[in-house]
Structure 1
Amino acid sequence: MSLTVIGVRHHSPACARLVGSTIAALRPAFVLIEGPADMNERIGEMLLGHELPVAIFTSYLDDRRRHGSWAPFCEYSPEWEALRAGSESGAQLRFIDLPAWHEAFADRDNRYADAELRYAEAVERLCAEFGVDNSDALWDHVIEMCPADGVSDRLSAYFDVIRGESAAGEPDTAREAYMARWIRAARAEAGDRPVVVVVGGFHRPALLRLVAEPSSGGLADAPAGASGWPEIPQPPAEATAGSYLVPYSFRRLDAFGGYQSGMPSPEYYQRLWESGPEEAARHLVTAVAGRLRKRGQPVSTADLIAARTAAEALARLRGHTHPARVDVLDGLAGALVNEALDVPLPWAVRGVVTAGQHPAVVEMTAALSGERVGRLHPDTPLPPLVHSATIELERHGLDRAGEPTVDLTDPRDRAVSRILHRVRVLDIPGFRRDSGPATGIDPVLREQWTVRRHEHRLAALIEAGGYGPTLEAAAAARIAQRIGGAGGDLGALADALFDAALCGFTDLGSDVPGRLERGVATATDLPVLGRVLAVTLALWRHDRLLGTAGSAALGVVVAAASRRILWLAEGWHAPGAPADRARIAAVVAVRDAVVHAAGVGVDRTSAVEVAGRIAADRAAPPDLRGAFFGLGRSLLDETAPPGLFPDPAQAVRGAFAGGTAGDWLSGLFAVAREPVLAPAGILTLLDDLIGGLGADDFLFALPALRQAFTYFPPRERETIGERLLARRGLGGSGRDLLRVTVGAETVAAGMALDEMIEQRLASAGLISAEESG
């Protein structure tokens, strides 16, 4: 019996050719492929006749983690060629790797990410030896651009150097042990017939060693299933996991776009696979010229001749029979880019296209990426969410292009809005809200949407199927995940809660209140926390439009945010800080929560006690001292400790004596204006204290005093004006006092001028000192 283990680089045309020719020559009993073993019963789905690229998408969801993983295939993927050639030769096909939901894949979302990138030292040494920039150029130089004869030996040598004697990490060790069990079982089952194994070249040395060694215990020697083949791991009972084929695209496959696999420029390698290196190079030049001309960039025939000449010269210099990918790219860059570049060329450093690249360079990488989008065969099984969402969208006429307007006061339109928001929350492309309410208390009652067909909609729905079988279940799970991952990011928590309201969710699961409480309890930004509390409380109290009034999740946020604001404010020490309206607004939000939301756990007694301590804390900012004085006085009842809050008149005198009257009053007026407006209130005292300020002290205090009195609405300011006129025995309307036709700065400057003139008149003996005062 012969065992042939082919180590490949994923998405390599040269490796795919080797796999196809080896299987055709050996006609093996089994073809074993690095891929998810839980798909073995469904390999027939892979061979239905899809338009590539496609991918196996696996989703996993439990209380601890949500994981999504892709195993992409294109025509020149060695794994796909193994499926095609193996089926054609009559071999039995098996995937032999752990399922993608397994914890061995917890740190990656792509099964075929290049392992050698984790062994950069060996790659760097080889790049220096061959005089190339990176592993992509190295691979083309030693594999893709060389004759097919001897490619197997070159691959073995390459991966032996990359792997060396280094031990793999724990995840790869578990995978290799599991794959070795499949190889042993296939050898036993095949008898005298050959077995061909196609795996990432990084794993080949370890698998050969494991298969040759006697049993060593551990995962490799776990009991086999009843058929003699290794058992396929099953997800935990409390978890949801599933795998489905999804359409893929060259753009998602491209390393320049961030894909983790090692082969960039999929359109170039597709041409290399179909037509060879000479035609691939010619197509690349033509495609780049076409893209640039379409965008109005001048590309002359002389430029193209110069690019081809440079590419051929570089190929000869680098020892290539035909121009390789980097030869063509370098030739194009030399002919089309005349300016100095601020960033390295993307094919020289390997990775995504960074900002600041020359437009011609961007078009080069785009031309190499290509526009191909896969298409599944109509008989391909799809997850329940696809069918559920399709029915919902068709029922409401949302499956076609349009610009629907939704009236949120109409129950039928509100149902349409919720469907649209659910697909938006799941990141299904083609649905965009152009306008609508920004909060649940926003007076905007209509939404405007744009719906467009999108080539990636099916793939996105399949991938979202891991969250649940229906739009409602999937969107709720997605929002719950966002809440769990927000931590102390109040903006993210608020966005998730508002999305829940827009989707029509008032109950996101029993664990969500705990997540919300933990997230709010770690917040550190007092003003932001105040805004979140104010909006959440309003939604909890009033929102009938979106149905969030009385929501348990919002109630948890109200209680937790109130406690957190009180805790943060008590530790806020900045005695000289000016008044901050956002900081004061947080205290106002706590007041409203105590008054209106006692039923969700906002403790009135605790709020009064904290207010008393902060109001008396001279290290606290004056605006917070005033705000918490107002909070305590407004919440004071017979249960409060005696003497906790001084008389308002005494507190006001203390603020004026400390020189922080305006800031202190800003806090007080924002939270409690009643002490001023009450018949026996402090208005008369304020009039006396302000009138008793010297000219300089008054001008210094004026901006803060003006800010403090802006907390009174116009009608109340008019009342204050009328009382002040009456106190002076003057007639007229208080409203007239509010109609100042010049700015406060002009008034202050005029007062300063009056003061200066009076002082000079007094010094000249023209008026008495009493008159000047």
Structure 2
Amino acid sequence: MAGAEGTAGHRPGAGPLLLGVRHHGPGSARAVRAALDAARPRVVLIEGPPEADALIPLAAEEGMRPPVALLAHAVDEPGRSAFWPLAGFSPEWVAIRWALRHDVPARFIDLPATHTLAWQREDTGTPEGKRAPQTDGAPDGEGAPGGDGAPSGEVRPGGDGAPGGDGAPGGEGAEDAPADAGVRVDPLAALAGAAGYDDPERWWEDVVEHRGVGEGDPYAPFLVLEEAMAALREVHGSGGHDRDLVREAYMRLQVRAATREFGEDVAVVCGAWHVPALRRKTAVGADRALLKGLPKVKTDMTWVPWTHRRLARAGGYGAGIDSPGWYAHLFAAPDRPVERWLTKVAGLLREEDRIVSSAHVIEAVRLAETLAAMRGRPLPGLSETTDAVRAVMCDGSDVPLALVRDRLVVGDVLGEVPESAPAVPLQRDLAGLQRRLRLRPEAAERELELDLRGGTDAGRSRLLHRLRLLGVGWGEPAASRGSTGTFRETWRLRWEPELSVRVAEAGVWGTTVLAAATAKAEADAVGAGALAEVTRLAEQCLLAGLADALPVVMRVLADRAALDADVGHLAQALPALVRSLRYGDVRGTDTAALAEVAAGLAERIFVALPPACAVLDADAAEEMRRHVNAVHTAVGLLGDTPMAGHGDLRARWHGVLGVLSGRDTIPGVVRGRAVRLLLDDGEVEQEKAARLMGLALSPGTAPADAAAWIEGFVGGGGGMLLVHDERLLALVDDWLTGVPAQAFTDVLPLLRRTFSAYEPGVRRSLGELVRRGPRPGGGPAGATAAGPPGFGADLDRERADAVLPVLRLLLGLGPDGAGAQDASGGELAGAAR
């Protein structure tokens, strides 16, 4: 390559100027800019779908900021799509901007997307009208601009956007390659191996990124790459995929047409792998024969935002690059790239409260330069700067280094497209809602706290729920770290580029987000296969504010509930309905019809539950216990909703629990849970609960059934009940010490599972009580003067006085306790009231 760089400055070869590039390579981008400045062609031809020619002028608008991507989707099947991503350091983007700046026509010359998407359908084996499994529409794993988007599997240099290494449209789809794709050549690996390198990326940085454009001859880098690729193609042919030949035939026809129109002043920017094929002389008839009979689908195209993260190989992009943030820095840095990069790293670490000084930056630069000299590299690369950052700024730790890689080496840069870009009506409505609700799409993940009592936050909540129903997963609900009230919601938001495809796909349901979500909810309700699916859909309709869809969903729900006799299905469906009632109240939605269905569902459960609990095995009994818990919670919430004709649902449910607690044919885990729920609701006195436990743990009960009763009664956090009622603890202790040795090993796993769920403090207290032994008289703790350690017979006024200042602050009584009584006990009682 050094010899080639010394050649005289002239255009390589006769005919059009062929500029072979590495996709998403900043070195190739700089070289393309220099070559175009020197050649001043009359037209620039770029590897990409020709349907996008009308979109090229949008690249000059102020609102267009890379990274962006060309999106092609089938008009009749929007989910079938392909992306052609472009970053600011992509040679194709540089060529487009150069042409627009110099008022030179720019055209795409790759195989049309109408064939690409049709080939994709053939590869997935999907019949007409059926939906194929998608990885964002990648035909054979191809599609990055400059060779990407081809239906032929582009020869990928390590999958890293190398010369001619074309990647998946939408950055996806390597797994969609057809079985006959063959072994694909890695041009970078082959050239790096010939040069004695074991790392293709390191070789590329050394010979291209760190050497810049050849002085005096801007065409030298392209001449060298063309010679190298010609040698590889003599050996490997199409590199393992014959569809390259079809794409190259189409590109040759387009180059010929441009030459007839503009003469020899034609520049072609394409993957370096294709340059030898474009240079080769072939008959026009032979090229047209290769294109005859290609399948077609009706296609639409537009620009969509893209992200650096989606350009990264870690993000799933088949022709991606490991370090888009680093490449963007190399392309944009006017000078001293290493010093500027390490200064960025230092700033990031300082923002994360790490101590990084200017001295750290200076030492890191020196170490990176020393490592580059020791490794025989012309300049420090990413590996040298990373090693320097780890040693100097991160104290040898990979934890802060992972942050540097995530935020800077990859990055969360999100591109923008102008409002004038073509878009489906649904996308335009969504963009308007995002502006009105001040909910800007961002590539970085962030949490959003919503107060549903406010108009803007309520609108944001409805929008996010509607998008989730449409399959546009912009936001995911998250656990709130603040209030747990139903008027609060927490969302985790991240806008991914492929969501543009989901929006286009959802456009078949309507032209606005509201209309599309309504139509989708109605269709999902009719096609739902289980009762629980319909109830979840009803909940989604209320959360999303789809008042027009709710009647259809409720009608389907009532029909399914009337026909479903499985109590398990009914029990799974009820909690979602009751949650919907609570959410509806917060959002001001009329839920009268929903409450009526929920009450009817609860009554059917009351009747069917006792017979369904009889004679169950261990697994079925455990599942039934979960159903009982869910129904109990739901009835507790449903009982607050007045409904004519249904009486007191809580009282009826307590009656069902009483039946469950007293039948010997019902498994012990269900009987024990029923007793515990009645005790918690105050429907059973502690004395009766102790008597029922004594019966369940009597010598006549099988040890396994007795252990299951204990699991149902005190499992799931019931340890405090045993701490404060030593009668129950004594019953468990007496039963456990009396279990026969041969049965002890059988019940031990169940008991261990029961007690291991308790908090450490609860387990410690139970251990102390067991060690001390039963107290005279038994009964609840504190019932007699002879209480356990730490419990006195009378109030300890000195300890109570120590609590009063904090209690005053919590209750807002002021420092002097105004309004409270003088005595400590009376003051506490008054404060509590």
The CA deviation string for residues 170-225 of structure 1, in whole angstroms up to 9 with x for no partner, is xx7547524532431441353233433222234445555695685166652359xx
Aligned to 1:615: none
The CA deviation string for residues 56-81 of structure 1, in whole angstroms up to 9 with x for no partner, is 35264789772554433233211112
Aligned partner (choices 124, 128, 141) of residue 206 of structure 2 = 141
Aligned to 2:386: 329
Change (3 A) 1:484 1:134: farther
Aligned to 2:327: 269
Aligned to 1:215: 286
Aligned to 1:151: 221
Partner of 2:52, secondary structure, is helix
Q: Is residue 54–residue 247 contact of structure 1 (8 Å, CA) maintained in 2? A: yes
Gaps of 5+ in 1: 224-230, 236-241, 342-356, 439-443, 517-524, 593-629, 635-647, 671-688, 711-739, 756-773
Aligned to 1:234: 298
Aligned partner (choices 258, 263, 266) of residue 195 of structure 1 = 266
**Per-residue deviation at 1:297?**
2.3
Query: Structure 2: which amino acid aligns with 1:195?
Result: V
What does 1:39-54 correspond to in 2, within 5 Å?
Answer: 39-50=52-63, 52-54=65-67
Change (3 A) 1:70 1:473: farther
Aligned to 2:5: none
What does 1:542-621 correspond to in 2, within 5 Å?
Answer: 580-582=623-625, 585=628
What does 1:357-756 correspond to in 2, within 5 Å?
Answer: 357-360=398-401, 362-363=403-404, 366-369=407-410, 373-377=414-418, 379-389=420-430, 391-392=432-433, 405-407=451-453, 418-419=462-463, 421-422=465-466, 426-428=472-474, 446-447=487-488, 464-468=503-507, 469-475=511-517, 498-505=539-546, 532-535=572-575, 580-582=623-625, 585=628, 662=668, 696-698=699-701, 700=703, 702=706, 742-747=726-731
Query: Structure 2: which amino acid aligns with 1:366?
Result: R
The CA deviation string for residues 106-142 of structure 1, in whole angstroms up to 9 with x for no partner, is 6456832782235476655555555656433232123
Aligned to 1:116: 157
Query: Structure 1: which amino acid aligns with 2:573?
Result: L
Q: Is residue 450–residue 458 contact of structure 2 (8 Å, CA) maintained in 1? A: no
TM-score by length of 2: 0.55
The CA deviation string for residues 401-429 of structure 1, in whole angstroms up to 9 with x for no partner, is 99764359x9x997775345335664457
**Per-residue deviation at 1:38?**
2.0
Query: Structure 1: which amino acid aligns with 2:226?
Result: S
Structure 1 CA distance, aligned partners of 2:76 and 2:535? 22
Aligned to 1:102: 117
Q: Is residue 424–residue 432 contact of structure 1 (8 Å, CA) maintained in 2? A: no
Structure 2 CA distance, aligned partners of 1:583 and 1:328? 55
RMSD (Å) for aligned C-alpha atoms: 6.4
Greater CA drift, 197-206 or 542-551: 542-551
Structure 2 CA distance, aligned partners of 1:40 and 1:97? 13
Change (3 A) 1:447 1:364: closer
Change (3 A) 1:185 1:393: closer
Structure 1 CA distance, aligned partners of 2:324 and 2:502? 22
Aligned partner (choices 228, 232, 236) of residue 165 of structure 1 = 236
Aligned to 1:245: 303
Structure 2 CA distance, aligned partners of 1:693 and 1:385? 62
Structure 1 CA distance, aligned partners of 2:16 and 2:670? 85
What does 1:9-28 correspond to in 2, within 5 Å?
Answer: 9-28=22-41
**Per-residue deviation at 1:147?**
5.0
Aligned to 1:627: none
TM-score by length of 1: 0.58
Q: Is residue 41–residue 267 contact of structure 2 (8 Å, CA) maintained in 1? A: yes
Change (3 A) 1:542 1:94: closer
Q: Is residue 28–residue 91 contact of structure 1 (8 Å, CA) maintained in 2? A: no
| Residues matched between the structures, number | 598
Query: Structure 2: which amino acid aligns with 1:234?
Result: K
The sequence identity of aligned pairs, in percent, is: 22
Partner of 1:246, secondary structure, is strand
Q: Is residue 77–residue 505 contact of structure 2 (8 Å, CA) maintained in 1? A: no
**Per-residue deviation at 1:359?**
0.6
Q: Is residue 8–residue 199 contact of structure 1 (8 Å, CA) maintained in 2? A: yes
1:31 aligns with 2:44: yes
Q: Is residue 699–residue 748 contact of structure 1 (8 Å, CA) maintained in 2? A: no
The CA deviation string for residues 385-408 of structure 1, in whole angstroms up to 9 with x for no partner, is 454245556777889999764359
Change (3 A) 1:506 1:115: farther
Aligned to 2:98: 85
**Per-residue deviation at 1:23?**
3.4
Structure 2 CA distance, aligned partners of 1:95 and 1:181? 7
Partner of 2:71, secondary structure, is strand
Query: Structure 2: which amino acid aligns with 1:48?
Result: E
Change (3 A) 1:483 1:4: farther
Structure 2 CA distance, aligned partners of 1:288 and 1:391? 37
Query: Structure 2: which amino acid aligns with 1:359?
Result: P
Structure 2 CA distance, aligned partners of 1:4 and 1:698? 92
Q: Is residue 177–residue 220 contact of structure 1 (8 Å, CA) maintained in 2? A: yes
The CA deviation string for residues 299-321 of structure 1, in whole angstroms up to 9 with x for no partner, is 34544333222322333344443
Structure 2 CA distance, aligned partners of 1:25 and 1:584? 76
Structure 1 CA distance, aligned partners of 2:433 and 2:325? 37
Query: Structure 2: which amino acid aligns with 1:747?
Result: L
Change (3 A) 1:73 1:497: farther
Structure 1 CA distance, aligned partners of 2:738 and 2:255? 104
Change (3 A) 1:495 1:15: farther
Q: Is residue 187–residue 229 contact of structure 2 (8 Å, CA) maintained in 1? A: no
Query: Structure 2: which amino acid aligns with 1:406?
Result: L
The CA deviation string for residues 268-313 of structure 1, in whole angstroms up to 9 with x for no partner, is 434433456x521221122222222333323345443332223223
Structure 1 CA distance, aligned partners of 2:209 and 2:298? 39
Aligned to 2:124: none
Change (3 A) 1:696 1:432: closer
